[in-house]
Amino acid sequence: MIQAGLQRTQPVSFNQVRLEDAYWTAYTKLVRETVIPYQWDALNDRIEGAEPSHAIRNFRIAAGHEEGSFYGFVFQDSDLAKWLEAVGYSLNVHPNPELEAIADGAIDLVIEAQQPDGYLNTYFQIKAPEERWTNLFDCHELYCAGHMIEAAVAYYDGTGKRKLLDAMCRFADYIDSVFGTEPGKLRGYDGHQEIELALVKLYKTTGEERYLKLAAYFINERGQEPNFLIAEWEKRGRTSHWQAGVTRKPDPAYNQAHVPVREQEVAVGHSVRAVYMYTAMADLAALTGDESLLAACKKLWDNMVNKQMYITGGIGSTHHGEAFSFDYDLPNDTVYAETCASIGLIFFAHRMLQIEADSTYSDVLERALYNNVVGSMQQDGKHFFYVNPLEVWPEASRKNPGRHHVKAVRQPWFGCSCCPPNVARILSSLGEYIYGVNDNTVYTHLYIGSTAQVKLGSGAAVELKQETNYPWHGDITLTLSLAEAANFALALRIPSWSEGKAEIRVNGETLAADAYTIDKGYAYITRAWVDGDKVELTLALDVQLIEANPLVRANSGKAALQRGPLVYCLEETDNGDKLAGISIPADATFTARFDDSLLGGAIVLEGEGYRDDQSTWSGELYRPVKRQSGRIPVKAVPYSLWGNRGEGEMAVWLRVRE
């Protein structure tokens, strides 16, 4: 069904991977048992103190079940879609009849709201039926469609139920009849990319090539001249959904529609829109063999991760437009680093990995996952960060308007609640990101305890049991179960943070350097594997002091603590306030210690630093330097855990004393 393209490997589907992991089980259980039910309550406006979602009510009103007005953002429908997608993944690996009955009911509601022609969007149906497709720039119609298509695919995969899938095929067919280059069709595309990657998924599930072509149409059309988004704005009378009156000419760079996608070399504009688009571009390159699309993907990847990415895997330096700003502009305090953007970065990395097994992709995927994404969720599963700062001064977040967007504590739910359901859907399908496979290679991208059923392209079937206490410890054991011996390569990612300090043993024997090959960050062990073979990988989990490229002004003279994939931070609760007044020696030695009292247990880093002495100051604001500081113990905790112990200052980048 898949065309000959550039795709080299397939991910091992998460429904072939059973997670058994000390670190992740807590999170995936939290998503299953708390986040998904909590979000259902949120969609139904049952969370006290949180802003109402109204998402379900919008569908009920559109379906004619009740009277009322649309409420919420124009893209409110997508919250239900992302929840359904997460439920689809969850049911896939954890059947739950009660949850499935609730989801079936929600799907019935969605389909009841759908128009006879296939169209579905409660905002336009309730509020402005005559304005359908008149403001793609602002109104997220295709974006919402895309999310519901993703939900339909996930729910079909998870339950085998076609109801939503069929409904979304009708919607996609209708969209295909509206958009395109043919005469009489609307030659447009959405202001917020999403439909493109969703149509690829729909194509993969249904085999219907029209969906793939429609996705390619949207990608190819984007940024062509005359610019559709500008022309549409002109045609609409220069109005905006978001502002009253006549508005200023929009900048299509915000929507990555400033030039055709193949000409884009720098990540610009709204960061979530960007990575969703790059994901679809990689999908299309993989499936259609489009080298020019792949070349653009590589340039954009390179720009994003080597010039515009926070050490936590966050992207988007400014809250103005939730956007990229420019190369090496990575302020820690006024940062955006939206959770959804990091999730989109993971999607993009995952697609690129299927084209090329290069650990640049899996290293970044891991960085974003273990830091920005996990850190966005409170340990109660009910509070989330939208913005993921690298430096927090709670008083500034409250009292300096330029930092109001940076919250010092996670919020219960958002009026614009894109992030929490996005976390739910990625963690519900986490198994998908661990392995890749092709004819004769099994790739291990992530080190997560699990048992995977892998079928090689050659036909050989192998069960891979991965045991590890990662990310706390660097020992990973892979046990292979095979019905019969098979010749293939096992390709283990050697994370770049290990600086190559990795030891591999097969059945207890350390492999000599010439017993395997290293290529693009993967160690390929090729042999005739037999049942019971045991591969052990030991990665050096040193505490590292990381510095940023001097072009990043914000981090000059600073360093961050990192151990394995985890970035660490200092919190006020452990180190007192005025974290900016703490410095650490350039040759600091920090000791890793497992603290089982810390939020379910975690490795903390402990060392010595210096603290600027406040005691010699009285009321003055400035004085000739005395620079007195005293030695103090410094304790760092994983960034992903920050903000779980009350409000306080936090800092990732620490001053280095030379």
By rule CB under 8 A, what string of x and - marks binding of each residue 293-332 to a second copy? Answer: ---------x--xxx-x-x-----xxxxx---xx--x-x-
Does position 499 interact with a second copy (CB under 8 A)? The reply is: yes
511-550 as b/e: b if 16+ CB within 10 A: beeeebeeeebbbebeeebeeebebbbbbebbbbbbbbee
Does position 601 interact with a second copy (CB under 8 A)? The reply is: no
By rule CB under 8 A, what string of x and - marks binding of each residue 374-403 to a second copy? Answer: -------------------x-xx--xxxx-
When the beta carbons of 3 and 400 are compared against a second copy, the nearer one is 400
Dist CA 16 CA 18 (whole Å)? 7
Alpha carbon 507 to its chain's center:
36
Does position 553 interact with a second copy (CB under 8 A)? The reply is: yes
Dist CA 474 CA 89 (whole Å)? 29
Does position 160 interact with a second copy (CB under 8 A)? The reply is: no
What residues have CB less than 8 Å from 597, skipping those under 6 apart? none
- Binding part of the chain for a second copy, among 47-55, 382-390, 469-477, 580-588 by CB under 8 A, reads 580-588
Among 550, 601, 630, 646, binds a second copy (CB under 8 A): 550
Alpha carbon 180 to its chain's center:
30
Distances in Å between the alpha carbon of 392 and those of 92, 336, 410? 39, 12, 12
- Binding part of the chain for a second copy, among 13-21, 107-115, 462-470, 550-558 by CB under 8 A, reads 550-558
Within a 13 Å sphere around the CA of 639, how many CA atoms are in the beta-carbon half?
Answer: 33
Residue (of 163, 15, 150, 204) closest to 92 by Cα position:
15
Residue tagged active-site, from 100, 232, 322, 467: 322
Q: What token pair was written down for 565?
A: 């994939």
Residue (of 455, 449, 515) closest to 478 by Cα position:
449
Does position 246 interact with a second copy (CB under 8 A)? The reply is: no
- Smallest gap from residue 612 Cβ to a second copy (A): 5
When the beta carbons of 181 and 591 are compared against a second copy, the nearer one is 591
**Is residue 139 annotated as a catalytic residue, yes or no?**
no
Does position 627 interact with a second copy (CB under 8 A)? The reply is: yes
Residue (of 265, 188, 290) closest to 231 by Cα position:
188
- Binding part of the chain for a second copy, among 10-18, 36-44, 83-91, 617-625 by CB under 8 A, reads 617-625
Q: What token pair was written down for 69?
A: 């007005």
- Binding part of the chain for a second copy, among 31-39, 107-115, 169-177, 544-552 by CB under 8 A, reads 544-552
Distances in Å between the alpha carbon of 267 and those of 190, 228, 295, 444? 18, 20, 14, 29
- Smallest gap from residue 131 Cβ to a second copy (A): 21
End-to-end CA distance of the chain: 60
What are the residues facing 454 on neighbouring strands? 462
Does position 655 interact with a second copy (CB under 8 A)? The reply is: yes
Q: Are 429 and 343 in contact (CB under 8 A)?
A: no
> CB-based burial of residue 624 (10 Å sphere; 0-12 exposed, 13-18 middle, 19+ buried)?
exposed
Among 253, 423, 548, 603, binds a second copy (CB under 8 A): 548
When the beta carbons of 145 and 502 are compared against a second copy, the nearer one is 502
- Smallest gap from residue 293 Cβ to a second copy (A): 23
Residue tagged active-site, from 139, 144, 169, 418: 418
Does position 625 interact with a second copy (CB under 8 A)? The reply is: yes
- Smallest gap from residue 371 Cβ to a second copy (A): 12
Does position 580 interact with a second copy (CB under 8 A)? The reply is: yes
Alpha carbon 117 to its chain's center:
34
Dist CA 35 CA 47 (whole Å)? 12
- Binding part of the chain for a second copy, among 1-9, 102-110, 351-359, 626-634 by CB under 8 A, reads 626-634
Does position 242 interact with a second copy (CB under 8 A)? The reply is: no
**Is residue 322 annotated as a catalytic residue, yes or no?**
yes
- Binding part of the chain for a second copy, among 71-79, 484-492, 575-583, 632-640 by CB under 8 A, reads 575-583
Q: What token pair was written down for 219?
A: 């990608």
Q: Which residues are marked as active site? A: 322, 418
List residues binding a second copy (CB under 8 A): 244-245, 302, 305-307, 309, 311, 317-321, 325-326, 329, 331, 333-334, 393, 395-396, 399-402, 499, 544-554, 556-557, 559-560, 578-581, 583, 586, 612-614, 617, 619-627, 629, 655-658
